[in-house]
Amino acid sequence: MASETIALNEIAAGYRTIGERLHGWVTTVDHKRLGIMYIIYALMMLVIGGIEATIMRIQLMVPHNNFVSPEVFNRMFTMHGTTMIFFVAMPLVFGFGTYLIPLMVGARDMAFPRLNALSFWFTAFGGLLLYFSFIGGTGLYGAGNAPDVGWFAYAPLTAKVFSQGHSTDFWSLALLVSGFGSIGTAVNFITTIISMRCPGMTLGKMPLLAWLNLVMAGLVILAVSPLTAAQIMLSIDRYLGGHFFDTQAGGSAVLWMHFFWIFGHPEVYVLVIPCFAFASEIIPVFSRKPIFGYPVMVAATVAIGFISMSVWAHHMFAVGMTSYGNTFFTVTTMIISVPTGIKIFNWIGTMWGGKIQFKAPMLFCIAFLFQFLIAGLTGIMLSASPFNWQLTGSYFVVAHFHYVIVGAILVTIFGAFYYWFPKMTGRMYNETLAQWHFWLFVIGFHLTFDFMHVPGMLGMPRRIYTYEPGRGWEIWNLIVSVGAVVQGIAILIFVFNLLWSMFKGEPAGNDPWDAWTLEWSTSSPPPDYNFATIPVVQSRRPLWDLKHPEDPDWKYE
């Protein structure tokens, strides 16, 4: 009788018009729907940012190319950087966090569901503001178009005299608005993790994903707020005639650099810590072992959070700080690699002696380990200020941070997509296509970003729109561009796999990976209320306890 009623309800649900469904999505405060909207929004922005990258790579493929004008090239790298950081990477990690945190701590929703929706729409409209600049950036002056000041928008490029029209204003407002969204989400994450855990889940029994997102949210609060303040100052300069960054009136262009990088460097950790979290959930499940060194993982993450607040000026060695300043930021930057290295050893320790299953999520996590290690090593090279003076502002730096953001962050997010896709949609992805995606993407990634280090060491500066032949840069740029095409094909396979599997994939069941955290205890996709009864946990792996009542974890923890 009950199942008949449910079936009837489902038929009734099926008759909802598209308008009604759309209304349901726009007005929702459900963390699962908001999480999915974040992710879809970020995927759309990923395609746009990818097109911008492709335009740049076509332009740089051969010397003296005239594919785009210098002005358009400047807009492309500005929009590419801004889009990828603020409207792809941030919404992706926030989307997964919004979706997963309540499920993993055994709650029915976030602590503040309406704030959650508000934060999403702030982020979404921030992105729209940024892209509206293509239309509205011209403004009354008839000058400008999309922003062209670079993603860190150094003064005095952003001064009214050098950036007429409204393009820089759109850039600034977009970051201000999406910054409010980020702060709102961070407040929500912290409150959910501290105040909404299900009975029995003490801080020491939380899944690592919750712990790492707690640290990430703390970093957002401390790091995104300075960016918000700096954007307010920039707007005061541009609209009210203030002098914060106006060197003519005694203001300081270097102050903007400090304010931007106080945000900018912790931001890298804001993005990578959730990816550490994905790896810390995926690697144990596919190694069939509990995570190695849980308390050390937590401690290392907290240490990274603290140290990351004191490394920002390693972006500014070439500015001319005192030798004390250079030494301080060199040392802190080298120190932060210690807790990061501890984490890598812990993941390897988790795999050591495990029965490793090389499914797509695990493959991406293994690629993450290798690539993140190399990214960290070039990071240590760049942290030495004399070396940095030589290579700052070159393609070596571009290769280094793309190694972090693509090689570590994006790759782990791909792993997270495949791992939680069955939970979000109720269907399995196609493993063959996923393996194709993996190998093509890894090959394309290494073609692009391994070889990008070389022109940097040969002296090719970043952000140039073309170059002379005969400097030894041509072959490297050609390889880099070819790699970009391979990555593009891999991402098309990925998107096709997601779309196809969403409708045609095999039903996944509640727990396709035989995993141990709470989200796998509910149906796929989870019902609106997540859990029929609020779970009670006794260990870090509640589903292990459930599946192995003869040998539960809580006996040993």
For residue 426, report the phi and psi dihedrals to the nearest 5 degrees: 80, 5
Q: Are 456 and 399 within 8 A, CB to CB?
A: yes
How far CA 179 is from CA of 20, 91, 225, 261, in Å, comes to 31, 11, 7, 15
Nearer to another protein, 31 or 75 (CB): 31
Using rule CB under 8 A, residue 255 touches another protein: yes
524 binds another protein (CB under 8 A): yes
Choice from 54, 138, 164, 191 touching another protein (CB under 8 A): 191
Contact between 545 and another protein per CB under 8 A:
yes
Q: Least distance (Å) from another protein to the CB of residue 124?
A: 20
Give the nearest distance from C-beta 517 to another protein in angstroms. 12
Q: Which of 494, 522, 539, 540 binds another protein (CB under 8 A)?
A: 522
By CB under 8 A, residue 260 contacts another protein = no
What tokens appear for 420 in the block? 């939680």
Instruction: Mark 107-140 as b/e (b = at least 16 C-beta within 10 Å).
Output: bbbbbbbebbbbbbebbbbbbebbbbbeebbbee
Note whether 489 binds another protein by CB under 8 A.
Answer: no
Strand partners, 394: 461
> Which residues have CB under 8 Å from 179's CB, separation 6+?
126, 224, 225, 227, 228, 231
The sign of the dihedral angle between the CA atoms of 500, 81, 460, 386 is negative
61 binds another protein (CB under 8 A): no
CA distance 181 to 190: 14
Nearest approach, Cβ of residue 207 and another protein (Å): 14
The residue whose two tokens read 């990061």 is: 340
Chain positions 5 to 44 lying near another protein, rule: CB under 8 A, are 6-7, 10, 13
236 lines the binding site for another protein (CB under 8 A): yes
Residue with smaller CB distance to another protein, 355 or 555: 555
* Residue among 126, 254, 112, 246 nearest 184 (CA): 112
Q: Is the dihedral of CA 212, 213, 219, 222 positive or negative?
A: negative
Residues in the chain: 557
N-to-C CA span, the chain: 44
For the CB of residue 171, give the shortest distance to another protein in the complex, in Å: 19
Closest CA to 462 of 151, 175, 253, 171: 151
Amino acid type, 529: Y
CB of 116 to another protein, least distance (A): 12
Residue 426 binds another protein, judged by CB under 8 A? yes
Number of residues that bind another protein (CB under 8 A): 66
Residue span binding another protein (CB under 8 A) among the ranges 1-9, 51-59, 164-172, 291-299 = 1-9
Residue 66 touches another protein, criterion: CB under 8 A: no
> Least distance (Å) from another protein to the CB of residue 187?
4
Please give the distance of CA 269 from its chain centroid, rounded to a whole number: 9
- Shortest CB 127 distance to another protein, Å: 21
Can residue 531 be called a binding residue for another protein (CB under 8 A)? yes
Rule CB under 8 A: choose which of 28, 98, 116, 228 binds another protein.
228
- Where does this chain touch another protein (CB under 8 A) — which range of 118-126, 462-470, 473-481, 545-553? 545-553
With the CA atoms of 189, 195, 199 and 201 taken in that order, what torsion angle do they form, in degrees rounded to the nearest 10? 50
Among positions 431-450, residues that touch another protein (CB under 8 A) are: none
212 binds another protein (CB under 8 A): no
Q: Any contact of residue 230 with another protein (CB under 8 A)?
A: yes
At residue 427, φ and ψ (nearest 5 deg) are -130, 155
| Binding site residues, another protein, CB under 8 A | 3, 6-7, 10, 13, 111-112, 183, 186-188, 190-191, 194-197, 199-200, 217-218, 221-226, 228-230, 232-233, 236-237, 240-244, 249-252, 255, 259, 262, 426, 510, 518, 521-525, 527, 531-533, 535-538, 542, 545-546, 549
